[in-house]
Amino acid sequence: MTASGVDFLQLGVMIVDDNHHMRALLCSIMHALGIKRMKEIGDGETALAEIGAFEPDILITDWHMEPMDDTTLVKTIRHSSEDLIRYMLIIMLSGHSDILRVRGVRDCGVHEFLTKPVSAKSLLARLITIIEQPRPFIKTEHYFGPDRRRQYIGPPAGETDRRSDATSEGAADAAEL
Amino acid sequence: MSPPAAETIVPPNPLEKAKTGDGPVKIDPNVLRQAEQAVEELQDDYAGWVQKDIDGLREALVRAPNDPEALDQAISDIYKRAHDLIGQGGGFGYNLITSIGDLLTKFMEARDAVSNRDFAVICAHIDAMQAVVREDIKGDGGKIGMQIVDGLGQLVEKHT
């Protein structure tokens, strides 16, 4: 399906959620968008085992799954030695929407965060955002992942505000602002 | 104190291959409508799925007071199921299920420990979800939906 500047048929998506109904919902939306290369998985461990072979372009994952805890899947992906995996585009879903939890998700290295319940419109909007606005990755002592500063909600936990020091941080840091 | 050094890396964009022109990528109303129709087609299935979830909630509620050793597990089951329902309800068009699940999890989170005394309030939330499914109330339920949510809020307030 080619529509409004994007051919979804070209994309591969892995959906990870421990709830069958949510996976059915997400797969149904993806299929309607024209995405044919899809894999649905019920837990983080299996996702990690299969991600290398499937090579998704986008990973859509629930935040709170058992038995693997909330952010381990994302952190493990970000620590991969393979570029194809460590730079994976990740959309995280969660039924929680409070600011502290959102910050926690942001700080684990996801591209987009989407509060459940998920609508077709909100999911499509996130997909278009990551296609249209690719973000650089930032590597610091405490963080590796997409630049978190597109939407400013305060400095990352445990870090000072680099925005105020942009002029002293050199070209690389200035480029992310 | 100087902030930590940051390295900026621009990885290859794996989604570039999906772009079909130089123009901006926008939401196509026709594509969106297809996706929304796909979700609507799942609503009948969801009505059956959610009934199983409600049955599971009720089963955990019955189990909890009768088996003190299993109380923590039962409470954990109730919370997990309620949290799942928050995520699913509105997604399938049953926004009231999401609202009631949200009220229930917040009620449980506000307590250091859920006790037998709290079970009547939990039961009222489950009954409310059951009513939504039985009457097939989609969306926010309008006036009836407001009455259900307000009634649960008053019950929680009275209990607290």
Question: What is the distance between the alpha carbons of residues A145 and A74, in angstroms, rounded to a whole number?
Answer: 10
Name which of A134, A72, A68 is nearest A109 in CA terms: A72
Q: Looking at the predicted structure, is the pLDDT value of residue A41 above 60? A: yes
Q: Which residues constitute the domain of residue A130?
A: 2-134
Give how many domains chain A has, as a whole number. 2
The answer to whether residue A142 is domain-embedded is no
Same domain, A79 and A156: no
Whether B19 has its CB under 8 Å from any CB of chain A: the answer is: yes
Return residues 114-143 of B near A (CB < 8 Å).
Answer: none
Distance from CA of B157 to the nearest CA of A (A): 22
Question: Is residue A24 within 8 angstroms of chain B, CB to CB?
Answer: yes
B83-103 pLDDT, tens digit per residue, is: 999 999 999 999 999 999 999
Q: In terms of domains, do A163 and A80 share one? A: no
Q: In terms of domains, do A15 and A38 share one?
A: yes
Pairwise CB contact (< 8 Å): A124 & B41: no
Chosen from A11, A13, A18, A19 to mutate, greatest number of chain B CBs within 10 A: A19
The domain in which residue B56 lies consists of: 28-159
- The average pLDDT across A156-176 equals 42
Q: Does B136 map to a domain? A: yes
Number of domains in chain B: 1
For residue B4, tell me if it sits in a domain: no
Tens place of pLDDT per residue across chain B (160 aa): 566 688 999 998 888 888 887 878 888 899 899 999 999 999 889 989 999 999 999 999 888 777 777 788 888 899 989 999 999 999 999 999 999 999 999 999 998 788 777 899 999 999 999 999 999 999 999 999 999 999 999 999 888 7
Q: Are A6 and B20 in contact (CB < 8 Å)?
A: yes
Could you tell me if residue B75 is inside a domain? yes
Is A11 found in the same domain as A44?
yes
B20 touches chain A (CB under 8 A): yes
pLDDT-derived band at A161, boundaries 50, 70, 90 = low
- The pLDDT mean for chain A works out to 82
Query: B8 by DSSP, 3-state: which?
Result: strand
Residue A168 has pLDDT above 80, yes or no: no
Q: What is the pLDDT of residues A61-79, one digit of tens each?
A: 998 777 776 688 999 999 9
Interface confidence, given as ipTM, is 0.85
Distance CA B42, CA B99 (A): 20
Q: What is the pLDDT of residues A67-124, one digit of tens each?
A: 776 688 999 999 999 999 999 999 999 887 776 677 777 788 999 989 999 999 999 9
- Report yes or no: B24 at the A interface, CB cutoff 8 Å: yes
| CATH classification at residue A33 | 3.40.50.2300
Residue B130: inside a domain, yes or no?
yes
Question: Rounded to two decimals, what is the model's pTM?
Answer: 0.84
A83 shares a domain with A110: yes
